[in-house]
Amino acid sequence: MTPLKSTLANIDREAWLRFFLALAGLALAFAAAIFSAAAAEAGSPVASVIFASTALFLSGLVGVLSIPFLLRRVLARRVRDALQFELTREGKIYLAAVLVIGIAALNTANNLLYIIVAAMLAALVVSGLASGANLRGLELDVAVPRNAFAARAIGVRVRLANPRWWPSFSIKVLSPPEKKRKRPGWEWHKTKFIFPRRRQWLQLPDYSLRRRVIGPAAANILTRPVYFTYIAPKRTADVEVELTFPRRGQYSQDGFSVATRFPFSFLTKTRSVPLDRELLVYPQLIQPDELLDVLPLITGEFVSFVRGRGSELYRIREHTPQDPARYVDWKATAKTGSLKVREFTREDERRMRVVFDNPEPGQVSTESYERAVSLAATLACHFAGEHVDLSFAGPDYEGSNSLDDFLRYLALMQPAPRTWVLEQLSVSSDFNVILTARTPGSIPTPIWVTSYVIYM
């Protein structure tokens, strides 16, 4: 696509059409005003009134139909950016000093004090203009990884580009302030009045009173500001900041703020940058010392379950007539005086299935539930590192045997009414690790035989 075609494609045709129609309307109104003045001088009051009324009508029509639309399209962003400022503590002290000097100037009528007040107010105006120019044209980009683990630091790269020919100083990138959330209560919703309900002969606009639904507050990704001291002209500056998220779940942010207090720190000028970023935080992994009371037992039972003819040594035992001579351990035989053979694990059947039996709301405490989710994620990551062939199961789990799919499932899991029971779990030759809130003894027998059960 040529530059000319690209420029034409980005033109706001509706705004330009309104603009030219407004020019035509104002030109007609100006011509009508001229004809009204000429008719008045010619002694024709009726024609003068008609032309004057026409000019007034056309001007009002342009003012109602075109001017507000053009202001919203052209100046809305600039006006919004110009009004996003906040007085700092230094600025408030400065304004208080200006007020005191201004009162003294009024009481004493001293011209020097008037000049000082004017200079101080001019410095405040210059501070606002300079801070606006300091932010204008900056391009922000925030590189966020697709996923992370809770309570584990990740790197988020914040990049700020300055395509202008003048530098920027003292820039801060931060999350926008949280909007005030509405309180629970009642509110009016737009509906339609339909009569009768089945045939729908009559449909009229209507309102209904409903209870306001308050959803959970969205969590921002950038939890602390990032500071840039200096950005050279035609250059890009980037900073990698380490962030830690305390809870699992989905984090999203639809905008960031670029702020500065340059040059005098009287004002904090802020510009909003629309930028959608999402981050999925996996459950927190349990530390190895906290896993010692569970992992050795699971590993021992799993290794006992898969013992066979592989290459990894399982144990040394007494020789039986069915054992081939190639598995005889001659060193152990020489030490004990009796024939010993080696027994190996069966690598081709190192299959394990992690089952998360999601409890109903209120069945377990929040702490126990989060620990169970973290334990399921930790066990999956541990045995994946041991090159075990893993599979996963749980209520509404439709993912594959991929570890990322299961971690994504655990990251968004919440207690829910029971729609899935362990009896629906297919019986297989895999070793099952089941995390459940059921009472002991209620696990189905076919699964119990080849399982290690962890109670929440």
Greater model confidence, 79 or 456: 456
pLDDT reported for residue 232: 93
- Given a cut of 90, whether residue 48 has pLDDT beyond it is no
Tens-place pLDDT, residues 415-441:
888 776 666 677 667 788 888 887 776
* CA-closest candidate to residue 265, choices 172, 159, 165: 172
CA distance 355 to 377: 11
- Answer whether residue 78 shows pLDDT above 70: no
Determine which helix (DSSP H) or strand (DSSP E) holds 52, and give its type and residue range: helix 45-65
Of 62-71, 179-188, 264-273, highest mean pLDDT: 264-273
Pairing relation of β-strands 226-231 and 451-455? unpaired
**pLDDT at position 309:** 41
- pLDDT cut 70: percent of the chain above it: 74
349-376: average pLDDT: 86
Residue 188 has pLDDT above 90, yes or no: no
| CATH code at 139-180+216-282 | 2.60.40.10
> pLDDT tier at 329 (50, 70, 90 boundaries)?
confident
Helix (H) or strand (E) holding 55: helix 45-65
Report whether the peptide linkage leading into residue 177 is cis, meaning its omega lies within 30 degrees of zero. no
Q: Flag the least confident range among 75-84, 196-205, 429-438.
A: 75-84
pLDDT on residue 299: 73
Token pair in block for residue 145: 């990884």
For the chain, the structural domain boundaries read 12-82, 139-180+216-282, 288-306+350-455, 307-348
Task: Give the pLDDT confidence of 115-139 residue by residue, as tens digits.
Answer: 888 898 888 888 888 888 899 889 9
Q: Return the higher-pLDDT residue of 169 and 330.
A: 169
pLDDT bucket at 49, cuts 50 / 70 / 90:
confident
Upstream peptide bond of 263 is cis (omega within 30 degrees of 0): yes
How much is the average pLDDT of 312-320? 71
Q: Is the pLDDT of residue 184 over 80?
A: no
Q: CA-to-CA distance for 409 and 280, rounded, in angstroms?
A: 10
pLDDT band at 235 (very low <50, low <70, confident <90, very high): very high
Sign of CA dihedral 445, 446, 450, 455: negative
Residue 384 has a pLDDT of: 87
Residue 446 has pLDDT above 50, yes or no: yes
> Mean per-residue pLDDT for 15-20?
77
> pLDDT at residue 158 above 90?
yes
DSSP state of 369: H
